[in-house]
Structure 1
Amino acid sequence: MATVKKYTGGSIPTHYECSLHGVLAKSHEAQLRTRLSALCGDTEAAHHELHHEITCIPCIETPVGPLRREDHMLRLRIELDPKNPLDNERALNTICFMGHPEPRSGRGASVRPAIYAQVFSGNAAQFLSLLGYKFNSEFVRKGYWFLYRNTFKIIVSQIYSLTEDGNIQTAQPVDPSGSWVVQIVADAMNQEQVPRVCEQLDELKTLFQDYVELVVVDHAFLENRIPYS
């Protein structure tokens, strides 16, 4: 049985994820990285990351109707050691719930509730199975991130698909042109903090406008909908 972190009162706190996204051309990646190093510290300030993310959906499909809206997708995020990705002993497992984003809010960033529960021991995939969830899809994200003003996480990464389920050694880039995905993410601890965080993100994007256009993603693309066939 997996063991997850326990919280006072038995409930896991909900944060509100505020974010901006953009697509960075391969030719501009080195320039952006230099800019980030200057803003956030020297080259040692970059944190390399390798994530294997698995989406899971309920094993039993809720019949069509109002209750179906209560079905949610969960994500198992496996943080691997970039230097030794096959060392499962050092992998960090986190179960993620990303709520429905605010629709057409007019804010300067995408906003959605987010809950993270780290699994400290046991088999995280088996734990999700016991919760009534099954495998749906997976991808690998590889890149690096910087922390700006101890608040804003700036992630620069490439997305890979797997040609063999569960085998990260079969990862192939989704975009053969070598483009990068840029995300600026900040958490608001409660709804009252959301407006100010969004304003700060809207101001922050101008620092990178020479390299990448950071935008508010249409809420339809961030919906936590179950892809029932």
Structure 2
Amino acid sequence: MAAGKKYTGTGIPTHYECSLHGLLAKDHEPQLRTRLEALCGDTEAAHRELHHEISCIPCIETSIGPLRREDHVLRLRIELDPEDSLSAEKSTSSICLLGHPEPRSGRGASVRPIINAQVLSGSASASQLLSLLGYKFNSEFVRKGYWFLYRSSLKVVVSQIYRLQEQGNVQSVVPVDPSGNWLVQIVSEAMTQELVPRVCDQLEELKSLLEDYVELLVVDHAFLENKIPYS
């Protein structure tokens, strides 16, 4: 068995996620898919997407003041089998923490810290773990669509977002956008800080290759702040 990597000093290094986002009109989706097939492989290169994400917030509200910034939303991400969405055995779960995005405007992508931990014993155990950590349910959505992998590192997700009419029931979904528009996201693998400039360049390259089909943008960092929606 290979020895685990050891870190010294301040501990495990921070990893970052780089991303671009765009909105695609319903009528333009077939052309974008054809373009992605040409860039990433043939029709067999597309992977179906069925993603259930639950956001959780602390059970105890931190008093107003500087310490509130240390409160974060935790996300339970459940990847479901599109052929059998009710099968717990065919699903994979992870708990994700997205940090505050970089405010600098010079980047060619949105950049934010990320910690992602896979839960090996299913979504029910993940929910119990979040409860033990002092978190409670806040909101949820389902994402349906497909994704391609570009250059083995950039995931291009073309999907539609659904809300759940009944909490936790993925069979009760209805589209958030009845007009049928698609959300396009290009998301990198998590990486150390020194790799961020190179990955941003790769995102710019892919953005230019898709510019005739969809406008991909850097989301304003204010919209990506991981703030707790205390009422």
Q: Give TM class, smaller chain.
A: over 0.9
Q: Which amino acid aligns with 2:139?
A: S
> Where does residue 164 of structure 1 map in the other structure?
166
Change (3 A) 1:96 1:12: farther
Q: Distance in 2 between matches of 1:81 and 1:8?
A: 33
User: How far off is 1:57 after superposition?
Assistant: 0.3
State the aligned residue count: 223
Q: Distance in 2 between matches of 1:65 and 1:155?
A: 38
User: How far off is 1:138 after superposition?
Assistant: 0.1
**2:37 is equivalent to residue 43 of structure 1:** no
Residue pairs, 1:29-40, within 5 angstroms: 29-40=29-40
Q: Distance in 2 between matches of 1:59 and 1:225?
A: 15
CA RMSD of aligned residues (A): 1.5
User: How far off is 1:60 after superposition?
Assistant: 0.4
**2:197 is equivalent to residue 195 of structure 1:** yes
User: How far off is 1:185 after superposition?
Assistant: 1.1
Report the identity percentage.
74
User: How far off is 1:188 after superposition?
Assistant: 5.1
Residue pairs, 1:96-115, within 5 angstroms: 96-115=96-115
Q: Distance in 2 between matches of 1:145 and 1:70?
A: 33
SS of the equivalent of 1:82 reads: coil
Q: Distance in 2 between matches of 1:15 and 1:66?
A: 24
TM-score (norm 2): 0.93
Q: Contact between 2:99 and 2:113, CA under 8 Å: does it hold in 1? A: yes
Q: Distance in 1 between matches of 2:13 and 2:76?
A: 18
Q: Distance in 1 between matches of 2:217 and 2:186?
A: 10
Q: Distance in 2 between matches of 1:155 and 1:13?
A: 27
Which runs of 5 or more residues in structure 1 are unaligned? 1-6
> Where does residue 15 of structure 1 map in the other structure?
15
SS of the equivalent of 2:113 reads: strand
> Where does residue 82 of structure 1 map in the other structure?
82
> Where does residue 3 of structure 1 map in the other structure?
none
Change (3 A) 1:92 1:67: same
Q: Distance in 2 between matches of 1:145 and 1:137?
A: 24
TM-score (norm 1): 0.93
SS of the equivalent of 2:186 reads: strand
> Where does residue 184 of structure 2 map in the other structure?
182
